[in-house]
Amino acid sequence: MKQCLSGISANNDSSLEQDKPVADSCVIFDFVISGIFISLFALIAYIGNVLSLVVFCRRPKQTTTILQISLAIADTVFVTPPLLV
């Protein structure tokens, strides 16, 4: 996977047949990291933020609780775009 992260192939030969397996593995690597891992991480973070909001909204309104509610809302706004893509 080092070849996918660096953006260049390990061999210096520019033939398309030798670069094709590297390109295919990079597509799979990109799909797993960008498609599955980040979406799963964002979904877990979103669920955690919603649960935090539920818990913090039940507590008495003190300064710390209001700050934690604000942090949960800001984090939810930050985490939402990967779920929409």
Domain boundaries, the chain: 19-84
Higher pLDDT, 51 or 85: 51
CA distance 48 to 56: 12
Q: What mean pLDDT comes out for the span 11-23?
A: 56
Q: Is the pLDDT of residue 18 over 70?
A: no
DSSP structural state of residue 10: S
Q: What is the DSSP string of 25-56?
A: HHHHHHIIIIIIIHHHHHHHHHHHHHHHHHHH
Percent of the chain with pLDDT over 70: 74
Average pLDDT, the chain: 79
pLDDT of residue 59: 81
